[in-house]
């Protein structure tokens, strides 16, 4: 990562433009077979950050909404301010005065990349305020610093698609190598978040460290099939490939009724069904919007029946990533 | 696999056309990161089968050349006749009289899919003799029967590209799901076979059964990167992705000077370098024919220096598969 040394006039511009409001999208990481290497962005839900240049050096967080008091206002502990601070240091403006409002518009701990959406919104806000013309992908290492703090693991399968939009492959972490993948235009995503507690840290810890080579071969055959299906616009191949013999069998135990929900979704015509990130959200790909709505309706009714609250979202894949509101 | 019931007139045609001579290509399986799921065919070397319809029921093998007496003339023990017999049973002609000559034009036990090339040549010969218009991919299960006998494991990463040509993904074995992948047109393959003994069966047995999840994630990131690079015509991405943290570290121990040869190839401008199948052959991708020749020349000189005989081949990727001569 090269340092981005920006001219002083850019910072003056930033002070003039005062306030910016940015949306960044939720993301589905892993995409069933692609544990830690695949992810895509959706149009909703997502988070919003309002950022204002101030005269007082340093970052403050003046307001967080939608988090039920769960997120820290302390800028040394919040993923948004921490990643923005790393960015400011890299561009030689460590003391720039900034005030941040964070508006959570999506559930925390949902497996939908909640911390990534906030972090990416913050980074895109400061990038835009400073008039930094570099590719958004250059923000990735800073976003990963935020993830490291939020999840105890600097993974990129949520932040990369939140930042770049679309379907993203993280081929390698050292060195970081990110590839944007195409996808069929008509693919819809139905997401249901069952409101049960599955902390990301714990969801990672239950995954086995040692696995069978045979299962790994099955998994990378499916990863290769999914990537091929995305390039070939072959929704059947995408569906056949979205099978996870390694992580889903373990993580699904933390999601009440997971296999029943999968059966319901597949019976209603889903292309595929699985856990979003580390859960508990689940998602299905469908060939049309109506099927996606039928699935969220059926799954939410099921969850209500077993006394679990839920949220749902229907969306195409978001190819744009963060945007100024 | 549906049974292929062919009309009797086809068999009459076969008897009239008497003799056919077929070439089938050598193949590079695994392609470094894609253990057991990826393979591609080359233009040379390859094997030839001459097949003749006879009046005497059953299959005979009248001649095998180029094998130094290592392959069985007994039709119950030869992979070519065994797979052809399975095919004949499936088309309801188990007693058809056939005589087979097998001309080995490539080294046995080289890691270049020697048995696959012979088997595919035999199957393509009988398919053509019988006027069977089905897709060649329908022959795959029969070819895998031959592989099962030759290697103790019915894998498809040699037979599928030998049969279908080009670059092939075996997404799944149960059910069998094979996907043909594109590749950059200008990619050359330099192959060197060091004449040391690495039996496929043993080369499989030294691979660990239990692996680390972390290494598996690295591997499927690379598999996804390689597949993406093939679709995107991105030779740099193909090169970056062709790394194997699981199988090569073990199998390379059976190949004298493997890492020295890799350094030589990379210094001469190879895109990538690795073991072909279970070895001992090694291969490099290059962007042009001259670089491929420079590599084979340098590696063969190195092998001569350590008193190992070798063969070499330079070829583009073979998109046609077997052909009638």
Mean pLDDT of B223-250: 97
Rg (CA), chain A: 20
pLDDT tens per residue, chain A (325 residues)? 334 444 444 544 555 558 999 999 999 999 999 999 999 999 999 999 999 999 999 999 999 999 998 999 999 999 999 999 999 999 999 999 999 999 999 999 899 999 999 999 999 999 999 999 999 999 999 999 888 877 667 688 999 999 999 999 999 988 899 999 999 999 999 999 999 987 666 766 778 889 999 999 999 999 999 999 999 999 999 999 999 999 999 999 999 999 999 999 999 999 999 999 999 999 999 999 999 999 999 999 999 999 999 999 999 999 999 999 9
- How many beta-carbon pairs below 8 A join chains A and B? 128
Residue in B228, B82, B193, B98 with CA at minimum distance from that of residue B144: B82
| Both tokens assigned to B252 | 């390379």
Quick: pLDDT tens for A205-258. 778 889 999 999 999 999 999 999 999 999 999 999 999 999 999 999 999 999
pLDDT score of B191: 98
Q: Is the pLDDT of residue B9 over 90?
A: no
Residue in A71, A146, A135 with CA at minimum distance from that of residue A102: A71
Q: Is the pLDDT of residue B8 over 50?
A: no
Q: Do B217 and A169 count as a contact with CB atoms less than 8 A apart? A: no
CA–CA separation, A320 vs A180, rounded Å?
A: 12
CA–CA separation, B34 vs B238, rounded Å?
A: 12
* Complex ipTM: 0.92
Quick: pLDDT tens for A284-320. 999 999 999 999 999 999 999 999 999 999 999 999 9
A166 in B contact zone (CB under 8 Å) = no
Q: Do A210 and B209 count as a contact with CB atoms less than 8 A apart? A: no
- The residues facing A54 across adjacent strands are A97
Kindly tell me the sign of the dihedral angle through the C-alpha atoms of A183, A186, A190, A191. positive
**Cα B307 from chain centre:** 27
Burial code (b: 16+ CB inside 10 Å, e: under 16) for A112-130 equals: bbbbbbbbbbbbbbbbbbb
CATH number, span A8-182: 3.30.230.10
Using CB atoms within 10 Å of the CB of residue A259, give its burial: 0 to 12 exposed, 13 to 18 middle, 19+ buried: exposed
CA–CA separation, A20 vs B207, rounded Å?
A: 56
CA–CA separation, A155 vs A157, rounded Å?
A: 6
CA–CA separation, A170 vs B242, rounded Å?
A: 15
Q: Do A221 and B37 count as a contact with CB atoms less than 8 A apart? A: yes
β pairing state of B38-54 and B97-103:
antiparallel
User: Mutate which of B216, B219, B226 to disrupt the A interface (most A C-beta within 10 Å)?
Assistant: B216
Q: How confident is the model at residue B7 (pLDDT cuts 50, 70, 90)?
A: very low
What would be the CATH architecture of the domain defined by B188-316? 2-Layer Sandwich (3.30)
Tell me, yes or no, if the two domains B8-182 and B188-316 fold the same way. no
CB under 8 Å to A295, separation ≥6 — which residues?
Answer: A190, A192, A264, A265, A268, A270, A284, A286
Q: Beta-carbon neighbour count of residue A196 at 10 Å?
A: 15
Q: Which residues of B are catalytic?
A: 147, 200
Q: Beta-carbon neighbour count of residue A65 at 10 Å?
A: 11
Domain spans of chain A, in order of start? 8-182, 188-316
A153 in B contact zone (CB under 8 Å) = no
A34 in B contact zone (CB under 8 Å) = yes
A169 in B contact zone (CB under 8 Å) = yes
CA–CA separation, B101 vs B95, rounded Å?
A: 18
Q: Do B37 and A220 count as a contact with CB atoms less than 8 A apart? A: yes
């Amino acid at each position: 990562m090269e340092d981005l040394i920006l001219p002083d006039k850019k910072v003056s511009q930033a002070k003039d433009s005062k306030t910016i409001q940015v949306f960044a999208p939720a993301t589905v990481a892993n995409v069933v077979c692609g544990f830690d290497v695949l992810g895509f962005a959706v149009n909703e839900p997502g988070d919003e950050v309002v950022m204002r240049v101030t005269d007082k050096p340093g970052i403050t967080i003046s307001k967080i909404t939608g988090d039920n008091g769960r997120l820290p206002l302390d800028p040394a502990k919040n993923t948004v301010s921490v990643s923005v601070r790393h960015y400011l240091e890299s561009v030689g403006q460590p003391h720039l005065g900034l005030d941040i409002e964070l508006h959570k518009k999506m559930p925390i701990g949902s497996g939908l990349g909640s911390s990534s959406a906030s972090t990416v919104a913050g980074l895109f806000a400061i990038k835009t305020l400073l008039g930094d013309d570099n590719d958004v992908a250059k923000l990735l290492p800073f976003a990963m610093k935020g993830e490291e703090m939020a999840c105890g693991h600097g993974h990129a399968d949520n932040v990369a698609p939140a930042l770049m939009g679309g379907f993203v492959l993280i081929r390698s972490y050292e060195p970081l190598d990110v590839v944007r993948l195409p996808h069929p235009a008509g693919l819809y995503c139905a997401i249901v978040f069952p409101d049960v507690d599955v902390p990301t840290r714990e969801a990672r810890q239950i995954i086995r460290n040692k696995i069978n080579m045979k299962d790994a071969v099955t998994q990378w055959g499916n990863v290769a099939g999914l990537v091929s299906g995305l390039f070939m616009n072959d929704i059947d191949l995408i569906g056949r490939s979205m099978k996870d013999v390694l992580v889903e069998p373990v993580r699904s135990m933390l999601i009440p009724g997971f296999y029943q929900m999968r059966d319901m979704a597949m019976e209603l015509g889903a292309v595929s069904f699985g856990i979003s990130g580390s859960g508990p959200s689940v998602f299905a790909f469908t060939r049309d919007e109506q099927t996606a709505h039928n699935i969220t309706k059926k799954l939410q009714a099921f969850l209500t029946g077993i006394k679990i609250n839920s949220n749902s979202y229907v969306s195409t894949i978001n190819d744009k990533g963060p945007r100024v509101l």
